[in-house]
């Protein structure tokens, strides 16, 4: 190393070291001052070291040691974080005092278009966007999109049969992602993504790289922003490779959304599709205003950037969360054949020989919903929920400072034996109608609870039911010697603490047997 480089690096390293110890010392006594227990933090140890190795189990150990509510440092960058699974406190946070916890706590990980989408918005902008987006997911609107889901599911069944014919195992996540992304292409943009094929076309190629995690630039980004959060924006601007959403993929979907929006605007102006809304953009084009228009909370309008952002966000959500739910459910059906046979019997009874379900058929499939719910309980599609209070308040003796990250660990909460007896047992009966009065919604919230619950919950459940009803009309899922994991409790690990999504430890491969009459 040349002396010139050395003399440049020496002051930089010294400055960073000083700042490092400053950040380690600031805010470190907040929880102690408030009388809230939790793992201690010093200038050397880092709670993330434990969390990287066994995320849900470590949170469970902390709950046993410190109780259902405790404070921790280092879970979300350098910010003090309150972790809670206490139902009383959660009721305040998610429902009773929602206005104080209206906003999500975010780590700045991307400069992509999704940051203009509903999930990332806060304050009055979130409320306005929520009001505009809610009508997209009414039962009436879902019925108009059912045909898209059925079409994609039919392609999925044919693709599964193609894998079987070729003597190959089913890559559960990949096929589920192809299905989910194809549905949102049709339902969101009125486009035929043609994603449900064995080859990866341009649409799926780009959606498949829509979330990139664990690269060297991102590891550097995570290290620097953990101690110096203010660096996030300039780093993402200067080094695009640090972004979790590659710019090339983001630009592809922005162009796709803009082209679809322009086409629908022309159709609207010409009157060609008046009163014939068949996808989400047909609704949003009616509320579009220019980006420079200043909107108030009560306005039923969205800027062009907000429409594009919500469109790309829907693609991302469909690819990551809906596909994870479908993958998990297929795995559970293969692992628990008795459950699969009961579900097949329900599908046969409701469908009566038809290959494509109608909307009322989906409503009638109660046991299927129990199976999906139990799958999401065991393997939630998101690892946690996060909220941030707008004001410092005290609830049941627990003071939560303004701006604090409130962290709700779904992975550990929905496997908590105090809330779920025999949590490692796959039991759809937990969600049977006769037990509905015993089920506290705060114990089971894979889509969130309260005014900020996932707006696409009904749409996701419709997709899942359509896919499963068509698949189980044709095949049974089967485990093989090559299927990993061998034990259900080992299915998922959390790739990085910084991210919201659990990932399979290994790709889940399944076999199928064709049902009689489906050769």
* DSSP symbols for 375-393: HHHHS-SSSEEEEB-SS-E
Distance of alpha carbon 273 from alpha carbon 3, whole angstroms: 70
**Farthest CA pair distance, the chain:** 80
Task: Indicate the burial class of 226 (C-beta count within 10 angstroms; 0-12, 13-18, 19 or more).
Answer: buried
Is the Cβ–Cβ distance between 325 and 372 less than 8 Å?
yes
Summarize the annotated binding site as residue ranges: 454
Please name which of 197, 160, 196 lies closest in space to residue 330, comparing C-alpha atoms: 160
Q: Looking up tokens 């996060």, which residue turns up?
A: 386
Task: Give the CA distances from residue 361 to residues 142, 204, 271, 462, in Å, rounded to whole numbers and listed in that order.
Answer: 13, 30, 34, 11
Q: Residue 265 in 3-state DSSP?
A: helix
- The CA angle 225-231-232, to the nearest 5 degrees, is 70
Two tokens, residue 145: 């999109």
Q: Looking up tokens 């400053």, which residue turns up?
A: 22
Distance of alpha carbon 226 from alpha carbon 232, whole angstroms: 9
What's the N-to-C CA distance of the chain in angstroms?
Answer: 68
Summarize the annotated binding site for heme as residue ranges: 454
Element (H, E) at 154: helix 139-165
* DSSP symbols for 109-138: ---SGGGGSGGG--HHHHHHHHHHHGGGGS
């Amino acid at each position: 190393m040349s002396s010139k480089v050395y003399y440049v690096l020496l002051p930089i390293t010294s400055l960073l070291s000083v700042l490092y110890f400053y950040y380690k010392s600031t805010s470190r006594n907040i929880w102690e001052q408030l009388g809230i227990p939790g793992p201690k933090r010093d200038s050397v140890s880092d709670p993330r070291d434990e969390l990287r190795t066994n995320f849900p189990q470590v949170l469970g150990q902390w709950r046993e040691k410190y109780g259902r509510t405790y404070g921790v440092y280092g879970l979300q960058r350098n910010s003090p974080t309150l972790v809670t699974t206490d139902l009383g406190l959660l009721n305040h946070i998610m429902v009773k005092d929602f206005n104080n916890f209206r906003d999500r706590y975010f780590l700045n990980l991307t400069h992509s278009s999704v940051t203009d989408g509903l999930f990332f918005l806060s304050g009055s902008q979130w409320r306005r966007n929520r009001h505009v987006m809610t009508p997209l997911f009414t039962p009436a609107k879902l019925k108009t999109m059912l045909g898209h889901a059925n079409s994609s599911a039919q392609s999925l069944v044919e693709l599964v049969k193609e894998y079987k014919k070729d003597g190959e195992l089913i890559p559960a996540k990949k096929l589920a992602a192809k299905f989910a992304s194809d549905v949102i292409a049709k339902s969101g943009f009125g486009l035929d993504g043609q994603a449900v094929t064995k080859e990866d076309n341009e649409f799926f190629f780009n959606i498949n790289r829509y979330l990139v995690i664990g690269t060297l630039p991102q590891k550097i980004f995570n290290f620097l922003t953990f101690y110096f959060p203010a660096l996030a924006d300039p780093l993402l601007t200067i080094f695009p490779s640090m972004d979790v959403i590659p710019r090339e993929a983001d630009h592809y979907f922005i162009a796709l959304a803009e082209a679809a929006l322009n086409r629908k605007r022309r159709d609207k102006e010409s009157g060609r599709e008046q009163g014939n809304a068949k996808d989400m953009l047909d609704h949003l084009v009616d509320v579009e205003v220019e980006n420079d228009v200043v909107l108030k909370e009560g306005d039923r309008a969205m800027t062009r950037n907000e429409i594009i952002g919500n469109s790309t966000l829907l693609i991302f959500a469909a690819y990551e969360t809906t596909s994870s739910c479908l993958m998990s459910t297929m795995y559970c059906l293969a692992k628990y054949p008795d459950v699969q046979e009961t579900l097949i019997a329900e599908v046969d009874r409701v469908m009566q020989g038809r290959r494509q379900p109608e909307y009322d058929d989906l409503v009638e499939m109660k046991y299927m919903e129990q199976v999906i719910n139990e799958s999401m309980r065991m393997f939630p599609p998101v690892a946690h929920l996060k909220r941030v209070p707008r004001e410092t308040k005290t609830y049941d003796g627990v003071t939560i400072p303004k701006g604090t990250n409130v962290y709700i660990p779904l992975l550990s909460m929905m496997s908590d034996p105090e809330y779920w007896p025999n949590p490692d047992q796959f039991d759809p009966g937990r969600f049977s109608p006769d037990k509905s009065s015993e089920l506290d919604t705060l114990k089971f919230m894979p889509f969130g609870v309260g005014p900020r619950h996932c707006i696409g919950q009904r749409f996701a459940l419709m997709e899942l039911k359509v896919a499963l009803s068509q698949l189980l009309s044709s095949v049974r899922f089967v485990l093989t010697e090559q299927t990993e994991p061998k034990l259900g409790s080992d299915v998922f690990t959390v790739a990085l603490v910084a991210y919201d999504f659990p990932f399979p430890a290994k790709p889940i491969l399944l076999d199928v047997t064709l049902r009689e009459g489906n050769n």
